């Protein structure tokens, strides 16, 4: 099995998820991009309704390329890489509570076949030994193009809870832009009984 793995890796060398160059077997990033990502500083921040927020890197360079790879090229190992970085760098106090992914707008998610926030949340919950509780959903359909623009200009999406809501929640998203989406999630969670709501995102737009 190991031999087959090596042979396959030899025939088709893996490509860096950020720049597309060849990289070492079973690696998601080439040495160059790996080093650049390691140099990116994490960011503490906040948004109304959140007790605390933290992002593992600014939304630029390799980190931004990785989000694009996850979203548009469905490179799932990138979700694991994002979870590893979060686990390595996030303040220990933030890695508690139940992991709740920020819900992606339904049509966008369906078009891509998966949900980046959910993938990162699942990888992180597994690694940090936290429970995963996808208890949020977006309300209403509407025109998704308009919705994306609404997200960008900071108009909050309509968020509702489903099922049981944990008292302590760690929201996970791939990118934090204005914080409006995280605030809308926090508001819905608190209305359903959450008393502590924190958030971690892989990147944050500055
Ligand atoms: Zn690279």
d(CA 192, CA 85): 31
Residue 148 vs residue 56, higher pLDDT = 56
Ligand 1 center to 32 CA (angstroms): 6
Kindly report the number of other CB atoms within 10 A of residue 26's CB atom.
9
- Asked if residue 185 has pLDDT above 80, the reply is yes
Instruction: State the pLDDT at residue 139.
Output: 86
Element (H, E) at 183: helix 180-191
Strands 196-204 and 168-176: parallel
Give mean pLDDT, residues 166-188. 96
Cα 76 to averaged position of ligand 1 atoms, centre (Å): 16
Which of 56-70, 133-147, 168-182, 186-200 has the weakest average pLDDT?
133-147
Expressed in angstroms and rounded, the spacing between residue 133 Cα and the centre of ligand 1 is 33
Instruction: Please name the residues in contact with 104: beta carbons below 8 A apart, sequence gap of 6 or more.
Output: 115, 116, 117, 118, 138
3-state class (DSSP) for residue 200: strand
Ligand 1 mean position, distance from CA 69 (Å): 12
- Chain segment 28-60, per-residue pLDDT in tens: 999 999 999 999 999 998 899 999 999 999 999
Between residues 3 and 13, the one the model is more confident about: 13
Which pLDDT belongs to residue 113? Answer: 61
User: Is 60 in a helix, a strand, or coil?
Assistant: coil
pLDDT for residue 155 is more than 90:
no
Give distance in angstroms: CA of 79 to centre of ligand 1.
Answer: 16
CA–centroid distance, residue 23 to ligand 1 (Å) = 8
**Of 108, 113, 116, the residue nearest 172 (C-alpha):** 116
More confident residue, 144 or 121: 121
Distance 16 CA to ligand 1 centre (A): 5
State pLDDT tens for residues 122-138.
Answer: 999 999 999 999 999 99
pLDDT band at 25 (very low <50, low <70, confident <90, very high): confident
Q: What is the pLDDT of residue 104?
A: 84
Give 15 Cα–ligand 1 centroid separation in angstroms.
8
Alpha-carbon span 124 to 162, nearest angstrom: 21
Ligand 1 centroid from CA 85, angstroms = 16
Distance of CA 97 from the midpoint of ligand 1 (Å): 34
80-108 mean pLDDT = 91
User: Per the structure block, which two tokens stand in for 154?
Assistant: 């900071």
Q: What's the pLDDT at 60?
A: 97
Q: What residues have CB less than 8 Å from 176, skipping those under 6 apart?
A: 45, 47, 53, 55, 182, 199, 201, 203, 204, 205
């Amino acid at each position: 099995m190991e031999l087959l793995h090596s042979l396959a890796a030899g025939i088709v060398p893996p490509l860096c998820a950020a720049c597309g160059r060849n990289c070492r077997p079973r690696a998601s990033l080439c040495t160059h991009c790996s080093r650049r990502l390691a140099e990116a500083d994490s960011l503490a921040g906040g948004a109304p309704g959140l007790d605390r927020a933290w992002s593992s890197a600014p939304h630029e360079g390799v980190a931004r390329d990785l989000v694009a790879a996850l979203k548009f090229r469905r490179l799932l190992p990138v979700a694991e890489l994002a979870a590893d970085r979060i686990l390595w760098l996030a303040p220990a106090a933030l890695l508690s509570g139940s992991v709740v992914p920020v819900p992606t707008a339904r049509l966008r998610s369906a078009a891509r076949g998966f949900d980046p926030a959910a993938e990162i949340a699942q990888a992180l919950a597994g690694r940090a030994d936290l429970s995963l509780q996808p208890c949020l959903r977006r309300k209403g359909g509407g025109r998704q193009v308009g919705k994306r623009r609404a997200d960008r200009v900071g108009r909050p999406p309509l968020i509702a809870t489903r099922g049981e809501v944990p008292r302590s929640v760690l929201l996970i998203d791939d990118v934090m832009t204005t914080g409006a989406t995280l605030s809308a999630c926090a508001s819905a969670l608190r209305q359903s009984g959450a008393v502590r709501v924190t958030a971690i995102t892989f990147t944050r737009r500055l």
